[in-house]
Amino acid sequence: MTQEELKKIIYHGETEHIEFKRSFGREIIETSVAFANTQGGIILLGITDSKKISGITTEKETLQNWLNQIKLQTYPSLFPDIQEISIDNKKVVIITIAEHPIKPISFKGRYYKRVSNSNHQMTITEIADTHLKTFNTSWDYYPDKEHNLAQISLEKVNRFIELVNKNNLQITDDPFTVLRKYELLKNETISNGCFLLFTANETLISDIEIGRFSDKTTIKDAITIRTDILQEVLLVMDFIKKHINKAYIITGEPQREERWDYPLEALREIVINMIVHRDYLHSSGSIIKIFDTYIEFFNPGKLSENLSIKKLLSGNYISNIRNKQIASVFKEAGLIEKYGSGIQRILKAFNDYNLIPPKFEVKQHGFMVTVFKTPHKTPHKTPHKTPHKKSLSDRILDLIKDNPAATQQEISEALGIGFYTVREYFSKLKSSGKIERTGGRKGGYWLIK
């Protein structure tokens, strides 16, 4: 590093990758570990926090002694680069630490990571996740030392095979072979994911608490689900449907159409995301609270590093799956369509349902999604030239006049209005006798009376 480069670094101050210290001590080793566990960094000795060059005194063996201290007090051992530069007649020592390929690194049994311009001690979950990412794997792939093959339901494995076969794949193998092919069983030892997916009995590891609340503190109905995670999707959805309303819409077709308070496909997507992305190492469980006008879904497990709510909603991010084995099984069973696309499908479903978008939040040690059955408000616009704006019914009738064969979906897109809103207006127009359907869904058309 040259003097000019050093001056630029000092000028810009401490960052996620730069640390200033007056002298060598315990904090230098702690920072070295934090840099190695994150994305690397540089420590400048002889610089104050206020960016003043205080300088540092060194002897012939000083730099080597410092390197030895870092090496002997870290595990796996760190071997940083060290350099001494004179600037304004004062010595500055530069210690450069690269991101370590095997993580996490510890200092006297403690693990640190770099957050902004400070060091933070890592939690047990962060330590485990960092280690697993090093080997491009996840917790659910690891051998389950607490449970064995006798606690796995082969009937449930067979049901999974049936789901896969319905998903245009053909599995003819026996359950044990299937478990081995999906790496759920290795050397007659089941994985953590295998137990969660096919446990024969109830388990506290995957518990989900669901309650129907009349207010913040009064519970009208509740259930605790502690079964295998594939079955949990169905049981959670059954409880939710039990406690939300369903209406029937007359469309002119032989069969009535159901309309729930919320788009069920979106709620199902939220539930699947909860189960697949949950942090099963955390002591708390998943919680769902159903209120009169909204539902809260809380799940232990924060967003991955470098993923913000803003990026999540934009869809401009690379999906980082916490439980890769579980996600793979859910995808094979047809429960997941495409990795990283669930949030966008949820938002689209609520928009098509003419409901306000869900709220996504990072809460304490987890992630919360809140959905509302509040409809979109139609913004009021003051007319400029036209004194009387046409009603939505009249605008639909105009489009039918232009194209009697137009579908409700086509009219929805032409007006820029949610599909279900258009469908409700069609129902009103038919009930009032203003339009009539002639012919079936294919080849039919609308007749204005």
Q: What is the pLDDT of residues 28-59, one digit of tens each?
A: 999 999 999 988 999 999 999 888 999 999 88
Question: Using an 8 Å Cβ cutoff, are 26 and 43 in contact?
Answer: no
Residue 298's pLDDT is what?
A: 96
Residue 384's pLDDT is what?
A: 45
Residue 168's pLDDT is what?
A: 66
Question: 165-171: long-range contacts at Cβ-Cβ below 8 A with a sequence spacing of 24 or more?
Answer: 166/334, 167/332, 167/333, 167/334, 169/332
Residue 387's pLDDT is what?
A: 45
pTM score of the predicted model: 0.60
Q: What is the pLDDT of residues 413-439, one digit of tens each?
A: 777 777 767 777 888 888 888 888 877
Domains within the chain, CATH numbers bracketed = 3-122 (3.30.950.30), 209-275+282-318+345-372 (3.30.565.60), 392-448 (1.10.10.10)
Residue 386's pLDDT is what?
A: 42
Residue 220's pLDDT is what?
A: 94
Residue 385's pLDDT is what?
A: 45
Residue 177's pLDDT is what?
A: 94
Instruction: Provide the pairing of β-strand 106-107 with 74-75.
Output: antiparallel
Nearest to 5 by CA among 85, 79, 67: 85
Distance CA 325, CA 322 (A): 9
Q: What is the average pLDDT value for the chain, to the nearest integer? A: 86
Q: How far is CA 407 from the centre of its chain?
A: 36
Distance CA 221, CA 195 (A): 29
Residue 382's pLDDT is what?
A: 46
| Packing angle of the helix pair 26-37, 62-72 (nearest 10 deg) | 60
Question: Using an 8 Å Cβ cutoff, are 251 and 245 in contact?
Answer: no
Task: Name the pLDDT band for 135 (thresholds 50, 70, 90).
Answer: low
Query: For residues 358 and 430, which has the higher predicted lDDT (pLDDT)?
Result: 358
Q: Which region among 196-200, 250-254, 268-272, 365-369 has the lowest average model confidence (pLDDT)? A: 250-254
**SS3 at position 103:** coil
Question: Hey, which of 15-24, 168-177, 299-308 has the most confident mean pLDDT?
Answer: 15-24
Taking residues 153-181, report their average pLDDT: 89
